[in-house]
Structure 1
Amino acid sequence: MNKIQKYEKVMINLYWVFIVLLFSALFFKQELYTNANVYFSKKNYLTVFIVSIVVLNIVKILFVNNINLYSDKAFDVFRSMEVFLTSVFLLPFSDGIEYLSLVLPLFFISIRKGKKLTYLLLGFSAVIKIANIFVLYGIQEPFDASKVVFSLFRIFCIYILLLCIFSISAKIYSENLKNEQENDRLIDELGEKYEQLASAKDEIKNQYETLKETNFKLEDTNKRLTSSIAEFYTLQQVSEAIGSILDINELLNFVNDVIIGVMGVNFSSILLFDQKKNRLKVQFTNITNKEELAILADNVNCELLLDILQNEKPLIENMVDPDKYDFIQTRQIGSFMCVPLSLKSRKFGLTLIEHRNNNTFNTENLRLLTTLGKQVSMAIENAELYANLQEMATVDGLTGVYNRVYFHEKFEAEFKMAEEKGYNLSLVILDIDFFKIFNDTYGHLFGDVVLKEVAQTVKNNLRGTDTIARFGGEEFVLILPRTSIQQAHEKVEFLRTKIAGNVIKDNLISASVTASFGIACYPETSSNQVGLIRDADNALYKAKENGRNCIMISQKIG
């Protein structure tokens, strides 16, 4: 209705313009004379019409400005009055004024109400106009039929044109009506939805007071639940890692990453305690700056951190004074938390997490990190147990060097690498001379001592990349990567001299032993893996045949 009222105001303004034009007509053309003997005063007609239109506009203004008064019925009445006044009072004019005044209300009716009322009022106007023609020319003498016919034809054409115009506008009304009906349907649907939402809103509002008190409890519970979920997830991750990652370095690296992700800290470091050296060392950290890492490594054995480890008392510091803690120099740390990694049986080290902001950590963080520390401690213990089992499976129990099973795995990997990289790989087999005589003379216990001493003497004089394994009985085998036959000979000669010059003592028994050595080298003496072992073994037999306590080299290829 607001939209129609706006249009109505436009119509009022147009009628005021129209009234002004009619007033102008009164000044320039006082009256219209017909050919009949009766005179019609144009001034009177215009005056009555103008007064009527002014009164009608004033009434319309009152209705339009009051939303309670204005309605579709009022619209129909105003349009009908406009057409009636135009048809009755402007009919004496033949200069087109009456048609212009008809177009405005009828067009407005057609786009608002459609064809029915438009055609009715248009027909009414046509009847009045035709009647006026017959009245006008009927009183003239002599009667001129040609003028009547011409006037009727002219009226017919004009009204046909008006009919076409209003038919088009009525069609526009029809389309608009369809759109309005569709809009009304959508509005009804939205209204239903709105009512449902309003109903739901009322229901929620009724329950609000009850829920308000419950909400505070839920918020507190939610915070604790969120913390518990984060804790559960972290512990689950670590527990899964404990079950699947048995390498201690890989495990600690994973745990350190989990701590950084869950706790949201800037730095996290795992410090392990070396029981032999009685010192802490940085095992894993996400600190990448070399200078900062060096400062941390040099200061982790401060009194504060060692006291946390020994007394197993975690520490939260939320207002860090950088001058007080040497291990955080240059890193601008605002808060840190340190938790011991320990079990009843052993102290493993510390977890140190740091944040650049102050007041970052609370008791919930401490509880989570402490629980996590227990998990990590169990993980370290499990990893060490696994390492011990691995060592028992690959290390000879008597001599402490690798056993034959490990030798074959290692030798296969080293030979494959030598083939791919194209470097020399030397293999040495040594045998303790007259070992059976030592057993028979001094007993098997002293024989075991001899085996251990010889194995440790060789092991202690090898490089980190070299491997020694017990091949069987009193035989040992050495894998020397990136070593030519000449380099191997020099190394073995040094070992032979060491073994021969070593006096082995056990209680009251002391004795010296010697060893024989056979050397082969890929690709200098042997072309494949099996041939390398065979050639070294053959060289060892030659050393025994040549008086023992000597070194024999396999013959070079080609």
Structure 2
Amino acid sequence: MNRIQKFEQVLGRCCWGILAFLAISVAININPAINIINLSKSDIMLIILIVLLSIFNFVRLKYINSNLLYTEKVFDVFRIIEVALLSIFINGNYQRIEHYLIIIPMIFSSLSRGRKSSFVLLGINAVIKIVKGFIVYFLSDTIILSTSDLFDYCIELVWVYVIWISIIIITSAFSNQNCKNEIENQRLVFELGEKYEQLEAAQNEIKIQYDKLKESNLKLEDSNLRLTKSIAEFYTLQQISEAIGSIFDINELLKFVNDVIIGVMGVNYSTIVFFDQKKNKLKVHFTNVKDKEDLAILSDNINCRFLLDILESEKPILENDVVPEKFEFIQSRVIGSFICIPLSSKSRKFGLLLIEHKNKNTFNNENLSLVTTICKSVSMAIENAELYASMQVLATIDGLTGVYNRVYFHQKFENEFKLAKESGYELTLVILDIDYFKKFNDTYGHLFGDVVLKSVAQMVKSSLRSTDTMARFGGEEFVIILPRTSIKKAYEKVEYLRHKIANSVITDSLVSASVTASFGIASFPETSKSVTEIIKDADNALYRAKDNGRNRIEVAKDYDIMD
């Protein structure tokens, strides 16, 4: 609804008040004792005015409320009708009321449309008054007013018009100022609207930038998280790689790996299981399961079909919703998630790595990938360690006879002598030499000589304890280390070996021959006090045995074996 319509509605409400005022004025001037037919012309004209204004006001308000095409011209027409009705129908005793009522539409017209429209209304009023004056003057049979009364009326009328004009000028000035203010307000509202639109656009741009920044921040956080995980994984793999390069003992390495997995993965349990190829069984090698009952259940059920199938297929398993009844090896423990990964290489299956957590949905594919990489490194380390151990064994074994070589003997004997000295137990060294070995080579050839060496070595080795050590000392000479053995017990053992060798027949596909051997014995602390001394004393005893006819035993420093 525009500004003019609002003025029209206010004026319409005022009109009902004016009508009420006119009705009261008529009622005051009517004498109840006089018949209504005897009413004065001015009373009748006023009653007609009330009726016409009521109809006009009703129609006007209906039009304003229902017609959206209400314009300023319609407003001007309504004001002209109001002024015309008031000017025409108010006469006689009610002439002064006109002076007060006629100004109301003029003021509204001046406020809404300016002084020009108000002067038009004033002119219409003046024209109607002049016409009414002429009609009354020329058509009336009697002179209503005297010259002095007419002069006073004219003076009064002039003052009324002066007052009306003044009020119109004042209200129009107020209206002009109000219009200027309204225009200024509209300008300010427009500018404010533009500023608001600019601010809204800026706000939208800021929001867009904020959303982009938020998205970038989320991507950065995701990248940072993945980078952190990658760094943690890289650090873990680096630690394990360094351990593989610095820890040569496979048991120590596996224990380290087990501890690293528990720390990095934050799991409750980690178990390394080895596969025994000879027995075709799995066996718990390392685990942090401490409870004896839980450990017993784990060990007893480690060869279940589920784990054996994982080892056979060499495919890792991730289980995030564990049903304990399905897995025998965890029935006594509360486990919600586990990962089981084979430890294997291209040539061999070493075992399994089993990591477990009490909570469900703990592991993801990234965890599986990390542990798989660790297992590949560990499998390679196990293979390298076994290869290294094999090479170490090969480096200490005499290739012909299958017993230890001289280098290993010296290392072993020094260690055994140190332990014997620290612990206070006896240590005996035996040196044996195959009698007339050169004759076998010269008579039957070096190949048969090799057969003799291997046969004698195996006969002696098979008769020794697991704690005893036999090595080839050089040529046809062998040494035997007998820990925790006195010289008397050693003599009895060597006598048995001498008879065994002497009573054997060594054959190959073409040749058969008997062999004998000579022995020299020395013992700590009974005959010798140092490593060098015991070797020298045993060697001297051997030479005495050979000088005294061979196939015999001699004891260092003529030790009386019968004492």
TM-score after normalising by structure 1 = 0.59
In structure 2, what is the Cα distance between the partners aligned to 1:522 and 1:511? 36
The answer (yes or no) to whether the contact 1:267–1:355 under 8 Å persists in 2 is yes
2:433 maps to which of 431, 434, 442: 431
- Counterpart of 1:449 in structure 2 is 451
CA displacement at 1:533 relative to structure 2: 0.8
CA displacement at 1:556 relative to structure 2: 6.5
- Counterpart of 1:518 in structure 2 is 520
- Stretch of structure 1 that moved more, 437-446 or 411-420: 437-446
- Counterpart of 2:236 in structure 1 is 234
The letter of the residue matching 2:440 is: F
- Counterpart of 1:551 in structure 2 is 553
CA displacement at 1:354 relative to structure 2: 1.6
Equivalent residue pairs, number: 356
Within 5 Å, give how 1:270-285 maps onto structure 2. 270-285=272-287
- Counterpart of 1:292 in structure 2 is 294
2:413 maps to which of 411, 414, 421: 411
- Stretch of structure 1 that moved more, 466-475 or 415-424: 415-424
- Counterpart of 1:384 in structure 2 is 386
CA displacement at 1:206 relative to structure 2: 9.2
- Counterpart of 1:307 in structure 2 is 309
The answer (yes or no) to whether the contact 1:246–1:382 under 8 Å persists in 2 is no
Q: Deviations over 1:375-409 (max 9, x none)?
A: 01111122122222322332222222221112112
- Counterpart of 1:536 in structure 2 is 538
CA displacement at 1:446 relative to structure 2: 2.8
Question: Which residues of structure 2 form unaligned runs of 5+?
Answer: 1-205
The answer (yes or no) to whether the contact 1:520–1:533 under 8 Å persists in 2 is yes
CA displacement at 1:459 relative to structure 2: 2.8
In structure 1, what is the Cα distance between the partners aligned to 2:331 and 2:445? 62
2:529 maps to which of 524, 527, 530: 527
In structure 1, what is the Cα distance between the partners aligned to 2:298 and 2:510? 52
| 1:342 lines up with 2:344 in the alignment | yes
In structure 2, what is the Cα distance between the partners aligned to 1:412 and 1:338? 45
CA displacement at 1:231 relative to structure 2: 1.5
Q: 1:293 to 1:467 in 2, by over 3 A?
A: farther
Secondary structure, aligned partner of 2:283: strand
CA RMSD of aligned residues (A): 2.6
Q: Deviations over 1:34-75 (max 9, x none)?
A: xxxxxxxxxxxxxxxxxxxxxxxxxxxxxxxxxxxxxxxxxx
- Counterpart of 2:460 in structure 1 is 458
Secondary structure, aligned partner of 1:373: helix
Within 5 Å, give how 1:4-15 maps onto structure 2. none
TM-score after normalising by structure 2 = 0.59
Q: Deviations over 1:302-354 (max 9, x none)?
A: 22222111211111122323332222242333322110112222222211112
Secondary structure, aligned partner of 2:447: helix
The answer (yes or no) to whether the contact 1:428–1:518 under 8 Å persists in 2 is yes
Q: 1:281 to 1:547 in 2, by over 3 A?
A: farther
1:483 maps to which of 482, 485, 493: 485
In structure 2, what is the Cα distance between the partners aligned to 1:272 and 1:313? 16
The letter of the residue matching 2:251 is: N
Secondary structure, aligned partner of 2:465: coil
2:250 maps to which of 248, 251, 261: 248
Within 5 Å, give how 1:12-411 maps onto structure 2. 208-411=210-413
The answer (yes or no) to whether the contact 1:318–1:360 under 8 Å persists in 2 is yes
Q: Deviations over 1:147-201 (max 9, x none)?
A: xxxxxxxxxxxxxxxxxxxxxxxxxxxxxxxxxxxxxxxxxxxxxxxxxxxxxxx
In structure 2, what is the Cα distance between the partners aligned to 1:299 and 1:522? 50
Q: 1:409 to 1:279 in 2, by over 3 A?
A: same
If you compute each CA radius of gyration, which structure gives the higher value, 1 or 2? 2
CA displacement at 1:232 relative to structure 2: 0.8
Q: 1:325 to 1:445 in 2, by over 3 A?
A: farther
The answer (yes or no) to whether the contact 1:401–1:468 under 8 Å persists in 2 is yes
In structure 1, what is the Cα distance between the partners aligned to 2:504 and 2:361? 64
The letter of the residue matching 2:350 is: F
In structure 1, what is the Cα distance between the partners aligned to 2:251 and 2:551? 43
CA displacement at 1:473 relative to structure 2: 0.8
